[in-house]
Structure 1
Amino acid sequence: MGPFLQLSKYLLVTLFSLCNGSYAQYVEERDALYALKDTFDDLIMNGNWTGLQCYENTSFWDGVWCVNGRVTAIILESRGLSGAVSSDAFVSFSELVILSFKNNFLSGNIMDFSSNPKLRDIDLSDNMLDGPIPRSLLGLEFLQSLQLQDNRLTGPIPEFNQKSLTVCNVSNNKIICPRTNNGPIVCDSSNPGVGSFSENEKASSGNSKKKYVAAILLVFDIIGLITVILLFIFYCNKSRKLKKLIERYRLEEKDDEILEMGGVSFNYKESREENISCVHEEASTLVANEEEKGNLIFMGDAEAAFGLNDLLRASAEGLGKGLFGNSYKAKLEGRAAVVVKRLRDMKPLTNDEFAKLMRIIADHKHPNLLPLLAYYYTNDEKLFLYRYAKNGNLFNRLHGERGTRDRVPLRWNSRLTIARGVARAVEYLHLNASFSKCLVPHGNLKLSNVLLDEDDTVLVSDYGLTSLVAVPIAAQRLVAYKSPEYQNSKRVSLESDVWSFGCLLLELLTGRLSVHSAPPGINGVDLCSWVHRAVREEWTAEIFDTEISVQKSAAPGMLKLLQVAIRCCEKAPEKRPEMTEIVREIDSIKAVDSDESEELSVDQSLTDESFSTNASTVLVVGDGRNW
């Protein structure tokens, strides 16, 4: 393992010493491969497609071939990959020669290959691709083999006239075969649903061929069934071994589960075996490479510093999986608990570049910002350390335990305090932004990134991550990149943060799950459109969460905060207020004397005259603002 890590470090230094043009091409190809990985979300690709993808004629990623440091082949056959690959997914691969996604479950249209002049072999057979055969294939002068059979393609066959093309198969599609053909293409016009040609082989039909194909399919079905059975048996054996391993390391006198990893113990309170297995694997990776790595870099008080060995020996509790990696609560002996966030999908930065960005993030100091305590950066591992917030995040506080007796209502005064704290934190980021490094000071403002400390102090976390993430990945995951201006012009700005803050306010006021903060697999609501409709149709009172709508005296403040949220959610960025103005307006909203319900009947308080009187004011604010 030691020589490999030394080689990795040498390769990384060599790459960054290349000319700007080669480095830019390397980064473009790397970002495009990351975007392709995110499209498929394949377990093997997620684990293997990290670090350097290639160096000279050596490739480090499964399914990727390289020549002179450039990607020349992408071969991902029979992987069970699914999803629609974007039309411009291969624009950055100007040296691409071979592309094969044979025998997967790809959907959508065939990609655009106009930027891949060196393509020689393309195999997209046995998928679920639809639409026409793209005319960009006609510009590939060196194309020798084109395999498109067993898809759902429609339309006519383009006029392929490349002299290099020797093999082409478009059978088992819904292709329209030409009635006459003066070129080298052989197509059965009597059966417009089938088309194929080869320079040395003509298409044949008849009962014998059908029987032959049926026999082959039967053999493959039997092989597939046997494979599934063997995989099931293998999985059961692995699961049984994992359970025995967990039981062997369980302490008899404690309820917590202890996993021993190379002499380093992690103490977990979660009971799900899948989480324990995941943490065990990640911690084992850290321990295995411990001697080859540096130490933690602390950003503040040096007296509070501790070493990587101390961290690895701490008891740990899994907190969850985030967009950029898993988070753990680590409790060191004699010290306050810290949160360790293990990052992935970061830009390929040098140590100096990463250290500069960390100093920029650490220089932001505000009572409502969660400070960065320390970081750890190597080719293999990237860790952030934060202070542990004892009362969790705002997402769990607002949406957790709904409809149960254990639920503690989140009343108006608390929500107003949270809105004020978040606004002040974002205002500070905007006034102290380093535009040379961070385009958007936060970029991912949502409920799960708003933490509540022991005394319910609001702490905003994950600010500045936009400077560390490649744009294709940020566009898929960060909230700011879902703003209207990014959808229209592919541009984010300070106003994108204001839009994200408006979405957060609407979720805080309505108690409904926003589409922008909903966890994967859970459907949320487009609160901007829903609230605008409610205001336009004058059923404003139904907007507010029942936990605060029962507080009759809080109605004026709730309406004022709703006005602020609506202005923040304007589609046109120039119409949104700046954060300084937003803070001033929220500071003018007063808390109520009592945080208890003032009416037993929710309907009676909601239809109170104070709501209907002020609804027109909200309606004026929302009118004519390009929703």
Structure 2
Amino acid sequence: MVPSNFFSFLLVISLLASQKRATAKDDSSGFHGNERDALLALKATFNNSFLDSNWTGIMCYLNEKTYWYGIQCFNGRVTGIILENMKLTGEIKEDALVNLTELSNISLKNNLISGKLMKFANNPKLRNIDLSSNKFHGEIPQSLLYLNSLEALLLQDNNLTGPIPGFNQSSLKSFNVSRNNLSGKIPETKTLQSFGFTSYAGNENLCGPPTPILCNAKNYVSESNSENLSSKSNGSHFIEILVVVNVVVLVVILFLFIIYYKKYKKLKKEMKAKNLWPKDEEHDSTIADRAIEKKAIEKRTPEVERGKLVFVENNQPRFELDDLLKASAEGLGKGNFGNCYKAMLEIGQVVVVKRLIDLKPLSSEEFVRQVRAIANQKHPNLLPLLAYYYSKDEKLFLYRFAAHGNVYNRLHGGRGTRDRIPFRWSSRLAVARGVARALEHLHQNTRSQTTAPHGNLKSSNVLLDENEETLISDYGLTSLIALPIAAQRMVAYKTPEYQSHKLISKKSDVWSYGCLLLELLTGRIPAHSAPPGINGVDLCGVGPPRGERGVDGGDIRS
């Protein structure tokens, strides 16, 4: 009995030890076998000597710390893979990320990786995906549609084919599939339509808004070629039925037309007999007058109606809309009245493209007249309008590119980091002086006393060019933007006069300029012009206490 109990005891101890080892395989120290196997499979695919020597041991140590290059961890789980600009090669497998269920960020941009895009059904926490500038081919996987937390999807500069899935996640703020071989109509979802045409440029077979290319039968050739024989047979039967129906409809229409014509001739004869029918000469002259009027209207707005880029500066290098679509583009951010993009043309010129939304219901002639008024404002401290584009579905402004960004970012960007660029008092004074001169010019050249010549003066609309010269942008948009939208978003409508008496005047710009001066002086963000999600302070209402210090450490009284 004793030996039997002893061996039973040993057996229990052995089982407990094996259970402990099994538990230790996926503990909080970071050793999760499935995740490690997935990363080692990626390493074998890339065949990179640096990763071969670096990706050894435990990838996530003590919950968060990692010794593996490019691997991010949290609570002992792999949450990020960042391998950029490493010239990685190899054909990645579609199921490469299946076991990385906690993954939230992946960036493999600027490599030479090939294969089809990975399946993302097992990665519900993914927020940022950047696979740009590689050699991925095949279609964009439908599994991306189910990533409800997706914020950025960058797939530009690959060899992707097929249609664009119907992305409609409200969380998606950055999207780019330019310079691939995608085809078909861009889905009309709210999310995809919110991005500019530069997110789709370089795909010759894409059509529909936001691109200026209309969809027709040619755009769907690739889709029809992919149908099987059964679908072709069904399609041919449908066409035959459609032809028969069309013939019947045409016969009915022709029969009704004959009846109408006979009644028309009979009525005309009776009215002529009673001298109630107008003379033919008068009728003919009316038709001729209308034809002349129509031709005159067509001559007044030829370029606008054809949807071409119209340049307002004669001394600027000219290019076409196709050149703009082929240009390398970069998103600069979302403004109150549309997104802005930096476009680098093949001729070497860099321009900023502003996509206009929420405009008044203006005719083409009214739009051109307002744009010409904006373009005629010439001053060294005003950002000049280079060209504009007008069509029924798209309105664009093209501006000079200001290399040193805007004053808001100079004042408030990079706080508490080494990347912060000092903004000295002399530079702030130069900005205040430049804005004042530009504002004076706008006010002297605006006759109306019941409008704000600028209307949206704030630090994010004050730019700095390569010589640190001050340039004001977004002036004159009050003539284009619909009033309900302007009242919600423009700075001039935050003034005390408008809040109390619904009045707008030149003094509204003066109030905005005073708020800008306080922002330059204190380094604080004003509440009335703070970007979405940023809490500002009421600089233009109650002032700060005496002796309070600004963000740059100086006493604001000095």
Choose between structure 1 and 2 for higher RCO, CA contacts under 8 A separated by at least 6 residues: 1
Please, what TM-score do these two structures have when normalized by structure 2? 0.49
